[in-house]
A and B are shown apart, each in its own frame.
Chain A
C-alpha cells in the first residue's frame, strides 16, 4: 500500500521551491498603538531545505509564517517564492496549523480532498486523495468524522490535506505542539521521512529546541518581540538522528543559551 502510494507520488514530482524573505518588517495595530512584531528579517531558504524557526513564544514566528503563506501582507520588505512575489495564498505553499482545524462537517476523505476541490480539479484527481491518506496511514478512516479521531490522527489528516496539493513549500506552525510526547516522537519521524521522499521545502515553527534539531537542516533562532534573526545554525547530521547525539546536545545548549535559558541546562 505504501509502495503504491510512493509510486503515485513519484508521478507528481514536487521538488521544493526557493524562498526569499528580504528585509521584512511587520506590525500590528492594537488600540491605535503600533506593536512591531518583525524587524528587518532576511532569510534565504534553498529549495528542499528543512528550516526550523525557533524563538520565545509570542515573538512573531507565526506571523512570519502567515506572511510566507500569503495570508497577510508585510508592512515592509518582500517575500518571494522562486523569484515570484508572494502576494496571496497559493496551494503551492500550504500551512499545517497547530490545531488540525479539520472541517467537522466533512469526513476524513472530504477533508483531505478540500484543496483539490477548491482548485476545481478533484474530479480527475481523486486518486491523489487516496494516495495522501495512504501516505499518513489513515486509509481505513476515510469515512470517519473529525470528532471520532484522536489528536494525533487529526493532525495526520491535516498533514495529508496539505500534502495532497503537492506543495513546493510546506509551512508547519507548531503542528506537533499539542500532541502527547509519544505521538510527537512518532510524527517527527514521519515528517522527516515524508520530507525526504517528496523533497519539498519545509518551514517549521517550534519552541522546542530538541524538535528543531532532530528535524531540521537549519535552525534559525529569533530574538524576543519584535523578532530579529539572532542566529542561523546549520545542523549537519544524517537522518535518522538520535536524540542522545552529543553533537546535537551541544547545539541544543548553544541554542538555549541564545534564548537566555543557559541557567536551566
Chain B
C-alpha cells in the first residue's frame, strides 16, 4: 500500500512541476502584449472615468478607441500563433504599445482631467484628435502645399547639385571657377538669403523654391564632388585599357563609384531643406505646414500646433525613409550601410 501511495505522489507531482514553467514561459512570451492591453484599458478608463475640465467633443470616442486598441492587443497576443506576420509584428512592438498607452494615460490625466499642466498650452489628446477630424481640409491643403514646395525645390537642388558636383570632380577648368564660389557662398545658411530672396523673386513661392534648392544643392554638390574625386585611378585604368571613352568613364565609372557619397549629400540636403521650408512658410509663403503653425499660434490654437507638428514629423521621417529605400535599392552591392 505504502509503495502505491509513493508512486501516486510522484505521478501527480510530475505534471504540476511542468505546468508552472509553461505558465511562466507563456507570461514571458506574452507579458508585454497583456500589459499593452492593460495600459490601453487604463487610457480608455482615464478618458471616461472623470469629467473633462474643458469642453472637448472627442473624449468619449477616444475612450472607446482606446478600448478597441486594448482588445486588438489582447486578441493579437492570445492568437499570435494564428495571425502570422501581423501577429509577429504586434508581438515585436508590444513593449512600445505599453509605453504609448502609459504615456497617453498620464497625458490625459495631467491635462483634461486635473489640469496639472497649464491649459491651453498643453492640450489633451482628444483636442488634437479634434483638430484632425474638424480642421482636416485646411490641414490637408497645408500638407499639399508643403509637399509641393519641398519636392520642387529639393528636386531642382539635388539635380543641379549633382551635376555641379560631377563637373567639378571631373573637369579641372570647371573646378577652378566653381570651387571658390562654392566655398564662399555654400556655408552661408540658406535662410540668410530670405530677406533678399523675397523681394528679388517675382513670387514668394519661387523665392522659397530657390532657397530650398540652395539648401539642398550645397551638400549634394560637395559630397558628389568628393565622391567623384576619390574614385580610385585603378578603376579608370581598367576601363581605359578595355577601350572606354571619356563619356563612359564619367557615366559608368565615376558616377556609380561616387553614388554612396551622393546619397550622404542627398540625406544632408534633405535635412537642411526641411529647415528652410518651415522658415520660408512661416515668413513669406501663405500656405503649408509652417504657415499653419504660424497661423495656429496667432489664434492661440495650441492643439492645432501639436497636430501640425505630428504631421510634419511624419512627413519628414517618411521622406527620409523613402530616400533610404531608394538608396538601398540602388546600392545593393554595398555592405553594412547606414541604418534608418
Q: A-side interface residues toward B, CB under 8 Å?
A: 69-71, 89-91, 93-95, 97, 99, 101, 103-107, 114-115, 117-119, 145-147, 161, 165, 171
Q: Which of B222-258 contact A (CB under 8 A)?
A: 232, 234-235, 237-245, 248, 252-253, 256-257
Contact of A119 among B238, B243, B253, B259 (CB under 8 A): B243
Say yes or no: A101 contacts B333, CB within 8 Å.
Answer: no
**Chain A residues, Cβ within 8 Å of B19:** none
**Chain A residues, Cβ within 8 Å of B16:** none
Which residue of chain A is the closest to B259 with respect to CB atoms?
A105
If over half of A's interface residues share one DSSP class (helix, strand or loop), that class is named, otherwise mixed; here it is loop
Contact of B242 among A94, A97, A105, A145 (CB under 8 A): A94
Say yes or no: A89 contacts B243, CB within 8 Å.
Answer: yes
Of A105, A115, A117, A119, most B-chain CB atoms within 10 Å:
A105
Inter-chain CA distance A94–B253, complex, in Å, is 18
Interface size on B, residues (CB 8 A): 23
**Chain B residues, Cβ within 8 Å of A171:** 241
**Chain B residues, Cβ within 8 Å of A106:** 256, 333
Of A103, A119, A165, most B-chain CB atoms within 10 Å:
A103
**Chain A residues, Cβ within 8 Å of B332:** 145
If over half of B's interface residues share one DSSP class (helix, strand or loop), that class is named, otherwise mixed; here it is helix
Contact A71 B237, CB 8 Å, known A105-B257, A105-B333, A145-B333:
yes
Say yes or no: A118 contacts B331, CB within 8 Å.
Answer: no
Say yes or no: B242 contacts A101, CB within 8 Å.
Answer: no
Instruction: List 4 other contacts, CB 8 Å, given A104-B333, A117-B248.
Output: A105-B256, A114-B242, A115-B243, A119-B243
Say yes or no: B243 contacts A97, CB within 8 Å.
Answer: no
A226 to chain B, nearest CB (A): 23
Inter-chain CA distance A216–B335, complex, in Å, is 40
Say yes or no: A117 contacts B333, CB within 8 Å.
Answer: no
Contact of B237 among A95, A114, A146, A165 (CB under 8 A): A95
Contact of B235 among A90, A93, A101, A107 (CB under 8 A): A101
Contact A90 B243, CB 8 Å, known A71-B237, A103-B256, A105-B259:
yes
Inter-chain CA distance A199–B256, complex, in Å, is 35
Which residue of chain B is the closest to A71 with respect to CB atoms?
B237
26 contacts between A and B (CB under 8 A): A69-B241, A70-B241, A90-B243, A91-B241, A93-B241, A94-B241, A95-B237, A95-B241, A97-B237, A101-B238, A103-B257, A104-B334, A105-B259, A106-B256, A115-B242, A117-B248, A118-B239, A118-B252, A119-B243, A145-B332, A146-B333, A147-B333, A147-B335, A165-B242, A165-B243, A171-B241
Q: Kindly count the residue-residue contacts between A and B in the assembled complex, taking CB atoms under 8 Å apart.
A: 68
B191 to chain A, nearest CB (A): 36
Inter-chain CA distance A90–B245, complex, in Å, is 11
Which residue of chain A is the closest to B239 with respect to CB atoms?
A118
Say yes or no: A118 contacts B234, CB within 8 Å.
Answer: no
Contact of A118 among B237, B242, B256, B333 (CB under 8 A): B242
Say yes or no: B256 contacts A161, CB within 8 Å.
Answer: no
**Chain A residues, Cβ within 8 Å of B241:** 69-71, 89, 91, 93-95, 171
Say yes or no: B238 contacts A91, CB within 8 Å.
Answer: no
Of B241, B252, B256, B331, most A-chain CB atoms within 10 Å:
B241
Say yes or no: B240 contacts A101, CB within 8 Å.
Answer: no
**Chain A residues, Cβ within 8 Å of B235:** 101, 103
**Chain B residues, Cβ within 8 Å of A119:** 242-243
Q: Which of B192-242 contact A (CB under 8 A)?
A: 232, 234-235, 237-242
**Chain A residues, Cβ within 8 Å of B333:** 104-107, 145-147
Q: Map CB proximity to A onto B256-289 as digits: 1 under 8 Å, 0 otherwise.
A: 1101000000000000000000000000000000
**Chain A residues, Cβ within 8 Å of B256:** 103, 105-106
Inter-chain CA distance A95–B243, complex, in Å, is 11
Which residue of chain A is the closest to B234 with respect to CB atoms?
A101
**Chain A residues, Cβ within 8 Å of B253:** 103
Q: Which 8 A-B pairs have the closest CB atoms?
A: A115-B242, A91-B243, A118-B244, A89-B240, A105-B256, A101-B234, A119-B243, A89-B241
B116 to chain A, nearest CB (A): 57
Inter-chain CA distance A145–B332, complex, in Å, is 9
**Chain A residues, Cβ within 8 Å of B242:** 91, 94, 114-115, 118-119, 161, 165
**Chain A residues, Cβ within 8 Å of B237:** 71, 95, 97, 101
Say yes or no: B240 contacts A105, CB within 8 Å.
Answer: no
Inter-chain CA distance A158–B73, complex, in Å, is 56
**Chain B residues, Cβ within 8 Å of A146:** 333
A177 to chain B, nearest CB (A): 15
Q: Map CB proximity to A onto B300-340 as digits: 1 under 8 Å, 0 otherwise.
A: 00000000000000000000000000000001111100000
